[in-house]
Structure 1
């Protein structure tokens, strides 16, 4: 089994001190890197384990923070912070760029070979980095399909992969249609996967607190979405032998 090294990193963003999770693969050389964004509740052990799994595959991975080291398990508190954030592309980009700067500065990370993957709010932040022209090799978003400001998707410089559950009421059909129309009109290299029968946050293991209506785990599709993310990285960001 490959040895993965992890450490906590702190950095400023959105007026807060963010607390991210950095996972480094075995060895000493530079490796391709992945910026990993969490659901709106914030960074948890779910994303930390995903970062560690990507490091096992050879990627320097930073799971970034949204809420200054806090996990917002109460839906009302989470919505009170996330809804204004999701309405403000510049704030989302600020959070994303702050984390991206930390990842680029990591000596083990190849600053020219970085992908951004996110879930929910984290996925929307990954998309906003692309719309801001960030130098990324791939963008992946699971149930985070926000539509950007008109015309800015043309600045996306890499393939985009998106996944959503067919029964997700939060990422409703009209929102999916707006996202795909934006990608098409911008000429982006994009893919869109709909996982039949899955709700919002279908990829996330069950939690021990109240969730929003329409949220539910789907084990089979969670595994499939993870494989799709790994395949995207293997295509766009292969790890050197």
Structure 2
């Protein structure tokens, strides 16, 4: 019986050696692929398991790195790294492009059929790839709704789905509104799902370190958000199209 396989991949980006997690579906044929971005704390087993789950569905999946193999569990360390990063779209795009190059170079990847899914900072990087005109089939972002530079959202060439908790103080209602106005003005095919009662990073299981105020796990909405991500991929990156069904 054939099964999924995984391996660690190292590649340069942002002056660091990034350490990503590549998950491959069973078989040897080319498959549609998903670029998977983590929260600002960085790549963890949570994203690795999600990449593995996508491979089990039949996608090639790369969970990419943000911090050169480091996981920034201390909120101060995370903010020191991510605050200037989030203020610099070109740096975010460079990180995204470096990971995308790794995914495209994988022989199992169908390079014309790639989606970007991300959480927090990883989701914002996916949006920046779209704003940079990258040919993606879909962009999905949970908790990452930062608007881009004026006019650049018009370069987005695929549907965008975003999810956010109604009680998320980091992605405030005003920020959500600015994001939706940006997408609408650019003529993007966009959707926003607001998960009632959920805080920031509601999708992420509890961790054993200090977290920022306003962060909290909501298991029911976490399951729903994952189902919404899978539904986005099924619509925009269907495996049945690849398999000729």
> What residue number does 2:194 align with?
194
Report the secondary structure of 1:10's partner residue: strand
Give the total of aligned pairs. 241
1:68-217 equivalent positions in 2, closer than 5 A:
68-217=68-217
TM-score of the two chains, using structure 2 as the length reference? 0.97
TM-score of the two chains, using structure 1 as the length reference? 0.99
Structure 1 residue 7: deviation in Å? 0.2
1:204–1:222 Cα contact (<8 Å) kept: yes
1:2–1:56 Cα contact (<8 Å) kept: no
Q: Distance in 1 between matches of 2:81 and 2:92?
A: 12
1:2–1:25 Cα contact (<8 Å) kept: no
Q: Distance in 2 between matches of 1:153 and 1:105?
A: 27
> What residue number does 1:61 align with?
61
Q: Deviations over 1:1-47 (max 9, x none)?
A: 86110000000000000000000000000000000000000000000
Could you list the runs of 5+ residues in structure 1 that have no partner in the other structure?
A: none
Could you list the runs of 5+ residues in structure 2 that have no partner in the other structure?
A: none
Q: What stretches of structure 1 move > 6 A for 4+ residues in a row?
A: none
Q: Deviations over 1:140-194 (max 9, x none)?
A: 0000001000000000000000000000000001100000000000000000000
Do structure 1's residue 221 and structure 2's residue 233 form an aligned pair? no
Report the secondary structure of 1:118's partner residue: strand
